[in-house]
Each structure stands twice: as C-alpha cells, then as structure tokens.
Amino acid sequence: MTAAELETRLGPADDPDNPLGDRAVVAADERAEMLADGERMLDEYGLNAEFVPRSRGGRFTQADCFARTVRVLFRRDPVLALGYGLSSFIGSAPIWASGSDQQQRWVADLLLRNDRIAAGYTELAHGGDFTRVELRARSGTNGFTLSGGKQLISNVARAQTITLFTRTDDRPGSRSHSHLLIDTRTLPAGRVSHSRFRTSGMRALRLGGVEFHDCPVPADSLVGPVGGALEAVLGAFQVTRTVLPSMAIGVLDSQLRLTIAFAAHRHLYGAPVIDLPRVRSLLAGAYLDLLICDSLVSRRVVAGRSSSAAHRPYTGSVRPGHNSRPGARASLTSGSRVSQARSRQVAGSRSIHPKRVSQAGIRGLRNSARW
C-alpha cells in the first residue's frame, strides 16, 4: 500500500457527504468519539500491516515510506492516526528488537488480525525518565508479580496486549528494567483496574491508566533478557522517535492549507486577506517552517540506522541516502530533496527582504491550497 492509495480511500476532505471528510472528523471530535467509519476503513486497508516487518508477513520495509504513508492519515485526522494504531507501532517495536521468535510471530499475527498493542512506558511521576519507573515486576517461581501502574497510555483499556517497561531490580543502573509482553485476556479478575484521562484537544483519544494489584503474569511474558529493556528501548526508539515527527507534520500541513483557503476567500479592505503583506509574510514563514521540518525529519529518518543486528527488523530496513517517491498531491511537501531545495530558496529570500519571502513562497501556497 502507498500514500496515494490511502489518500484515495480517505476521499475528498472537503466533500460534506464523505464519511471520512473534514466535516465528519470535526463532528466526531465534538462528540469526543473516534471516527468509526475511519477505523473500519483502516481495518479494511490493513494499517497494522505497516507496523509489521515484511519478514513477519507485514508491509514494513522502509521507514521513510512508512512515515509518508501514515502522514496522510495525520493530515486528515490525527486522532485517528494516534488512536487507531500508532500505539501498536510503539508497543511492537521492542518485540521486533529483542523478542523471541515465538513472541514476534504472536505479535505479528495479532496485528495482522487488526488487534491492538498498548505501549506501557509513561508514569506521571517520572514522565519520560524510564530509569526511574516504579511499576515493579517481582520474579517468582511461576513468573512475575506486577505491582504499580502506568498512565497516559493510548488504547490501554481496549488493547489485547500491553508491552510493559517494568522495574525488575531495585538497584539503580541500566540493567534494572525488563520488558514484559502481557496478554490482557489471561489476567486474573480483580487484579487490574483502569482509569481514563480526558483531554481538552483531540478529545476522542483514549488515553488511560492501568494499575496492577499484585497481578501474576507467566514467565514467558519476559521479552529479551532480564535487565535488558533499557538497551532494547533505546534501539527501538531510534526508529519510533524519528518516524513519529515525520508523520505528525501532516497536522501543520493541513492547518496551513485551511488557513490559506480561508485567507484566499476572506476579503478585507477591498481585497483578499492573503494579499495583505503582513499576512503573506506570516504564511510564507509558516510554509518555510513546514519545509524545514520536513527536510529535517526526512533526512533523519533516511539516515537513521542502528549498528546492532538485533534491531534490524526495523532500523536495518532504513537505507541511508534513499529517498522515497513523494506522497499524494495533497501534501504541501513533496519529498526531502524538493523540500530542502524549496527551503534554501525561501530561506535565501528571507535573508534578503521579508517581502521577497512572500513572493517566493505564496504562489506555491495558493496553488497547493486549492481543493
């Protein structure tokens, strides 16, 4: 599947009768509901296959191609992009990095059936400082016992599986944490509770918390060696932390497009707002920011590669120097080389005179904003 195919399935954004168009997206957000038609479409499209390496039956081969495909979804509805499956992308990455053959086959089968994996990393008390997590996994005769919780986890209440970053040793250091792959269907009743975190924006995003109350899990839940989680997550996040920004700039793409469409039709002082020098300069500057961001994240995704063979299912498929085919025409950016050229052109104009920024950038903006 390509970005153009996904764009076709989404249909015209400005069609009021399109169940996946802008009007439907805004209405779902007002109701704080996931776009049900969007989730059905992604099930049919098989978005989860984008998270599974080709060696395991999926479609993941190139990080930059993958990022440009999912960027299409961010342009239309970031809630759908995050809420449908990107937690599965993050949650499965450590499995491809350090999971056993059996675990990788199980996760691949789960995702290809359109099930979900939650990524259990965040704790409110410590944020992104993984070395200080408090969720404890005590080793015992028959496996591990979980005590503690995770918060701000996407899809944790409806995921079949959770990848948990846990503390298995009270001593400080890089070997005190382990990954556990938990099948939520096998957990004993009364040992797990869930909470919901409401958001002021992206209201349908199902951010939740999970608490484990001396909850037993089997020994084969362990992913990789005991104490190996920090090393595994640093390798896997080389991909997730570079790919995600490359996808998320699709939001700015759509914001800029909508602003330009408004400015082109709204009249002020007898002329379109977009013809006002100050407005033109601001829009051209925002366009330059978009191109710079696209150039930076595209170059980083293309260049990123782990030297460890254990991480090759994801990071080994990123080829330095490779540039994927540009995405569908709806994107205001069109590939890293083009973005870099445009950035240099507009940035060069900006360094001379603000008026020339508008002249350099606004014509392309107006053309790109036409539905």
- Give the range of the structural domain holding residue 43, as residue numbers without chain letter: 3-115
Full DSSP string of 84-147: IIIHHHHHHHHHHHH--HHHHHHHHHHHHTT--EEEE--BTTTBT-GGG---EEEE-SSEEEEE
Do both 188 and 68 map to the same domain?
no
Question: Is the Cβ–Cβ distance between 151 and 197 less than 8 Å?
Answer: yes
Do both 178 and 204 map to the same domain?
yes
pLDDT digits 0-9 by tens, 307-349: 333 345 554 443 333 333 333 334 555 444 444 454 444 444 3
- Rounded to two decimals, the pTM is 0.79
Q: How far is CA 217 from its chain centroid?
A: 29
pLDDT digits 0-9 by tens, 272-281: 999 999 999 9
Round to whole Å and give the CA distance between 11 and 25.
Answer: 13
Do both 111 and 142 map to the same domain?
no
Of 157, 150, 80, the closest CA to residue 116 belongs to 157
Round to whole Å and give the CA distance between 211 and 194.
Answer: 6
Q: How far is CA 287 from its chain centroid?
A: 22
Do both 180 and 136 map to the same domain?
yes
Do both 254 and 339 map to the same domain?
yes
Question: What is the overall mean pLDDT for the chain?
Answer: 83
Do both 138 and 199 map to the same domain?
yes
Q: Is the pLDDT of residue 154 over 50?
A: yes
State the total domains in the chain.
3
Q: What is the CATH number of the domain that holds 147?
A: 2.40.110.10
pLDDT digits 0-9 by tens, 82-126: 989 888 999 999 999 999 999 999 999 999 999 999 999 999 998
pLDDT > 70 fraction of the chain, expressed in percent and rounded: 80
Q: Give the number of other CB atoms < 10 A from CB of residue 53.
A: 19
Do both 110 and 123 map to the same domain?
no
Structure tokens that stand for 342 in this block: 């445009």
What are the backbone angles phi and psi of residue 71, rounded to the nearest 5°? -60, -35
